[in-house]
Structure 1
Amino acid sequence: MNAPLSAMQLSWVNMIMDTLGALALATEPPNDDMMKRPPTDRGESIITKSMWRNIADQSVYQLVVLGVLMFKGKHLLKLIGSDVDVVLNTFIFNTFVFCQLFNEINSREMEKFNIFHEFSSSWIFSTILLSTILFQIIIIEFLGAFASTVPLSPQLWLLSILIGSASLIIVFMLKCIPVGSAKLSSHSRNGYHPIPNGSEEDV
C-alpha cells in the first residue's frame, strides 16, 4: 500500500499544524480572564490536564478516521475508476487538513464550552484560517501535478468538512467530564484562581 500523503502534502500539513497554527493561536487578543490569572508556579507543568485531554481525544479521533479511510475508504465512499487510489489519497489528505483546522478552533478554549467566544475580534486568527482554506482549495483543484492530488467532487469536499467538524462535537462532550480532582467552580475557570480586586473582601 502506498503512503496516503506525499512529501509536499506532509509539508503543507506540518505548516498548518506548526507555523500557521501557532501564529493563529499566539495572536489571540487578550481578555479579562487572562489578566486575572496569577503567575504560574515554577514547577508547574506547561501542559495542563485540559491540554492532555484535547491532545488525546484528537489523536484517537484522527487515527480512527484516517485508519478507516485508508483500509475501507474505497468501499465506504463507493469509489470506482482507474484513478480510485489517487482520489482516495486526495480525500484523506483533505480530511486530515480539515481535522487540523477544526482542532485549531478547539484549541482556542480548553475549558470553556463556547470555543467561539470573541471569535469575531480575533481577526488574525480568522484571516489565517480562511487563507489556509483558500490555499487548500487551490492545492486540491489546481496544483494536482505538483501536489499529487486530483479535484474532488462537491460531495467529497462536504464530507471532508463534516468529518473535520465532528471533532467540535467530540470535544464539547468530553468537556463535560472534569479532568481535575474536583469540578472547577465559577471562580476558578481554566484551573486558575482569579486575583481578587479591590472591591472584594479579604478572607
Structure 2
Amino acid sequence: MRALAQRGHIVAMTGDGVNDAAALRAAHIGVAMGITGTDVAKEAADMVLTDDDFSTIVRAIREGRSIYDNIVTFVRFQLATNIGAILTLLATVVAGLPAPMSAIQLLWVNIIMDGPPAMALGVDPPRENVMRRPPRPPAERILNARRLTAIVRVGAVMATGTVAVFTVARHLTDATTAATMAFTTFVLFQLCNALAARSEDEPVFGRHQLHNPTLWICLAVVFILQGVAVQVPVAQGVFDTAPLSAAQWAICLATASSVLLAEHAWRIGRARPRRSARRSDTS
C-alpha cells in the first residue's frame, strides 16, 4: 500500500480483521466489512461496507466519477457563458457600438436562462466510458489549461456570433429589433453551449445527447420563455424587445448553432491524430 502511495496512486484498502487495522488506518480510504468485519477494523476504517459486496465499491467509484464530471461540466458551462457575455460587451465598446443588451436583459440571461440548463447539467447521468478511463491525477485541477482554452474558445464564438448579428441587423432594421436579435442570439447560444458542454472529448453530435431528458426539458422551457419575452406585447415592455419574424428567429438560431458545429469540428480534428498514433503503436 505504501509503495503504491509513493508512486502517486490513491489507495483504498479493504479488510475485516484485527490484523487489517493498521493498513486500513494508513490507506487514503480504508473500507471495512460491515457484516464480517471486526469492531477494530470498523473503527480504523474511513467507511464501512454494509453489504460486504465488492461491486458496491465499483458502483461508488462510478458515482464519484460521475459527480466530478458533472462539476466540471457545470463550471465549463457557466464560465463559457460569462466569458461570452463579457467579450460581447467589450467588443461593442471597442467598436463604438451601443450595448447589445440592456440591464434587464443581462439579468434575464444570468438568472433565468442560465439556471435551468446549469442545474440539469449537474444531474447528468454517468458517461458510458466512465469506468474505462484511467484515474485522474490527484493534483489535477478542475480548470486546467485545456479546459480554460476550451472555455475561452466557446466564449469567443458566442461573442463573435452575437456581435455579428447585432452589427448586421443595425443596418437592416431598427435599433430595438437589432438589440432583440442580439439578445435572442446570445440566449440561444446558451442553449447550444449546454449541449456542447456535456462532454469534453466526445463529438458533440452523438447518442450521449439523448441520455439526459431533464436537460432537454429545461432547454425547451428556456426557449419558450425567450419566445414570451420577445413575442408577447406585455413582456416586450418589460424587456425592451421587439417581435421577431420567422426569418429573424432562423438567423438567430443558425448563428447560435455555430458553437455546436465549431466544437464538433474541433473535437473530431483533435481526435484524428490520436487515432493515428494508436494505430502506429499497434502496428
Normalised by the length of structure 2, the TM-score is 0.56
The yes-or-no answer on 1:164 pairing with 2:260 is: no
CA distance in 2, matches of 1:45, 1:16: 29
Q: Deviations over 1:63-101 (max 9, x none)?
A: 2223333444322xx22xxxx111100000000111111
Q: Where do 5+ consecutive residues of structure 2 fail to align? A: 1-96, 279-283
Normalised by the length of structure 1, the TM-score is 0.76
Letter in 2 for 1:10: L
Letter in 2 for 1:149: T
Identity %: 25
Letter in 1 for 2:254: L
CA distance in 2, matches of 1:64, 1:118: 28
Q: CA deviation at 1:184?
A: 6.9
Letter in 2 for 1:90: T
- 2:161 touches 2:256 (CA, 8 Å); kept in 1? no
Matches within 5 A, 1:74-89: 74-75=170-171, 78-79=172-173, 84-89=174-179
The higher radius of gyration belongs to 2
CA distance in 1, matches of 2:181, 2:105: 12
Aligned to 1:149: 241
**What SS is found at the alignment partner of 1:176?**
helix
- 2:204 touches 2:263 (CA, 8 Å); kept in 1? no
Aligned to 2:274: 183
- 2:196 touches 2:204 (CA, 8 Å); kept in 1? no
The yes-or-no answer on 1:56 pairing with 2:146 is: no
Matches within 5 A, 1:111-130: 111-130=201-220
In the comparison of the two structures, how many residue pairs are matched?
Answer: 179
Aligned to 2:116: 20
Calculate the aligned-residue CA RMSD, in Å: 2.6
The structure in which a higher percent of residues are strand is 2
CA distance in 2, matches of 1:186, 1:21: 37
Q: Where do 5+ consecutive residues of structure 1 fail to align? A: 188-203
Q: CA deviation at 1:5?
A: 1.1
CA distance in 2, matches of 1:186, 1:106: 26
The structure in which a higher percent of residues are helix is 2
The yes-or-no answer on 1:139 pairing with 2:235 is: no
- 2:195 touches 2:204 (CA, 8 Å); kept in 1? no
Q: CA deviation at 1:140?
A: 0.7
